[in-house]
Amino acid sequence: MMAGLYLCRMNTPKSFRRLVPDGDTHEREVCATCGFVDYQNPRIVVGSVVRHGGKVLLCRRAIEPRRGFWTVPAGYLELNETPEDGARREAREEALAQLKLGELLAIYSVPHLSQVQLIYRAELLDPGAGAALFGVGEESLEVQLFDWDELPTDDIAFPTVHWMLGHEREVMARGYTGPFANPA
């Protein structure tokens, strides 16, 4: 939030105030001069649990928060992007991997971070011509396929990554019956 640091549309600096606009129910940063409302809303995280040859692909984060810890390819959905395209883009960026997306594995709500996460099941696509199946993207320190019984459980970056790995196990064991939500 950059409240108080804007110029408004009439070029008068620092005219933002926190108030409930007419007809609204929440406080917003509103420019007292021009009426512009600076809405702030939760963000959508898109990502995937990527399988290959009975293993699962994880990336060790090169960036904060949780640099050095393991996660799945995931990140913020971009403007004008579908969640499926966003999940594929994140795997390209973080693991230099092409995905075949499957079902929506889970929808997690993380209200204290103002996030909703849409997590897909996926498999690695073979790019052919002897090219590598995956690599280390700019936001990753390492990218690796893990056996399901050798996951880096103590070095997982975020609680939702534990959730989605557990939910993927459930699907592998019992079949897919619709997306999971936050565990109880």
Task: Return residues touching a copy of itself (CB under 8 A).
Answer: 2, 5-9, 11, 13-14, 23, 25-26, 36, 39-44, 63, 76-85, 89, 93, 104, 107, 109, 111-112, 114, 116, 118, 138-139, 177-179
Q: Which is nearer to a copy of itself, 76 or 148 (CB)?
A: 76
CA 76-82-88 angle, to 5 degrees, is: 70
Contact 33, 17 (CB under 8 A): no
> Which H, E and C letters describe 141-153, residue by residue?
EEEEEEEHHHCCH
Write down the least CB distance from residue 126 to a copy of itself, Å.
24
CA torsion sign for 93, 172, 83, 43 is: negative
- Alpha-carbon gap, residue 130 to 145, rounded angstroms: 18
Q: Which is nearer to a copy of itself, 86 or 151 (CB)?
A: 86
Write down the least CB distance from residue 67 to a copy of itself, Å.
13
Write down the least CB distance from residue 44 to a copy of itself, Å.
6
Q: Which is nearer to a copy of itself, 63 or 152 (CB)?
A: 63
Tokens 């070095």, residue located = 155
Write down the least CB distance from residue 20 to a copy of itself, Å.
12
Q: Which is nearer to a copy of itself, 152 or 159 (CB)?
A: 159
* Total Cβ atoms within 10 A of residue 142: 12
